[in-house]
Amino acid sequence: MNQKNITVGGIELEWNLETGEVLFEGGDVVLFWTSAMETFFDTIKDISGIEATQLVLETTGFRQGVIVGEGFKDMKQIDTSNVVEWISNTYAPAGWGKVEIVEMDNEKNTFTMHIQNDWEYKMNLLKNKNSKGIFVPSHYAGVLTGLFGINFWYKIIQHQNDSTPYSIVEYFPSTVTVQQNIHELSRKQEAEQIRKLEARVNEHTQSLQNLVKELSSPIIPVLEGIIVVPMIGSYDEQRTEDLIFKTLTELPKHKADYLLVDLSGLNQHITEHTASLIDKLGASARLLGTEVILVGISPELAIIIAQSQNSLNTFESLQSLQHGIYYALGRSGRKIV
């Protein structure tokens, strides 16, 4: 009673309760409930995601099929003349459902299979899932690859469902490989990660640009009618437009009579473009009735301004911001008490 042998469809099954072994054609096998396989598949999906899970199942099914095909090739001397009978007799006793090769082209090495009530289909029925099997169809592609020594791939024509009693799958020699599919998914995932990173970089860059825009050209109302605009660093076209627009917008709001443009933050590196910016800003402010005073003039800046082709030398220029504020107060008939 501790050992039992039966033969189903020409396949030998053996149970040895003393050693705890189950043999299928002499090879160790393990029996699983379909519900247990469902848990296994769901766990992979939870960890890897749907797309990666599909590739894992397809690759695993194919590679398992290759092992089966190679193992039975020498054992049963299988070729195209008996492959139809062998596949049907081998997989039905193993609980893989009914599988038939209904069409076969020996010259082109193409096969059409009907796969009915396989364990993957039953597994998806357990929770009324709409998932369509991929493990079993890819497995038979691996079996044919192992049997004939050339790479086979597959195309699912239709899946078994309530109105269709079986799945129809075509098999054919192909250059498609599981390794190629793995690499393609890896490249796709890498590209997706790069796109996400680029989006985050762009988002943070825009936020940083907005912050710089707010901080780089502050408008400081120091006293009634007196505004200071410190110029810091270098100015490209965008910063130039922002500075002029923001300054001219703020002047009327603060009823500014005097605009002090502080150049001490330019670090003595004033370019022809920056000189043109200052000239344009000053001329625009004058049109609004605001007197422009340049402050923070170092000896080096004084030389550059004097040599500039712009009309910066027409503006009142002072050495420090403090001098500029006193000057503006004096011009308006006020003083600090």
pLDDT in tens, 288-316: 999 999 998 877 777 777 777 677 778 88
Question: Who's near 183: CB < 8 A, 6+ residues apart?
Answer: none
Neighbour order of strands in the sheet with 98-105 = 98-105, 110-116, 167-173, 152-158
Q: What is the mean pLDDT of residues 317-330?
A: 89
pLDDT band, very low/low/confident/very high, at 33 (cuts 50, 70, 90): confident
Task: State which of 24-38, 70-84, 134-148, 184-198 shows the largest mean pLDDT.
Answer: 134-148
Give the model confidence (pLDDT) of 233-285 as tens digits.
Answer: 777 777 888 888 888 888 999 899 999 999 887 755 667 777 888 888 888 99
Q: In what order do the strands lie in the sheet with 27-28?
A: 3-8, 11-16, 21-24, 27-28
Q: What is the pLDDT of residue 31?
A: 81
Q: What is the mean pLDDT of residues 183-210?
A: 72
C-alpha triplet 87, 89, 94: angle, nearest 5° = 95
Q: What is the pTM of this model?
A: 0.55
Integer Cα distance of 44 and 94 in angstroms: 24
Residue 335 has pLDDT above 90, yes or no: no
Query: Would you state the pLDDT for residue 103?
Result: 92
Give helix 83-91 / helix 50-76 axis angle, nearest 10°. 120
Domain 217-331, classified CATH 2.60.40.10, yes or no: no
Supply the pLDDT for residue 267: 59
For the chain, domain boundaries: 32-176, 217-331
CA 69-117-168 angle, 5° bins: 70
Q: How far apart are CA 300 and CA 258, in angstroms?
A: 25
β-sheet bridge partners, residue 7: 12
Q: Hey, what CATH class is 32-176 in?
A: alpha beta
Q: Distance between CA 37 and CA 60 in Å, rounded?
A: 14
Domains 32-176 and 217-331 share a fold: no
With tokens 């990660």, the residue in question is 193
Alpha-helical runs (H) found in the chain: 34-48, 50-76, 83-91, 119-125, 135-148, 178-216, 237-253, 272-287, 299-307, 321-331
**110 band by pLDDT with thresholds 50, 70 and 90:** very high
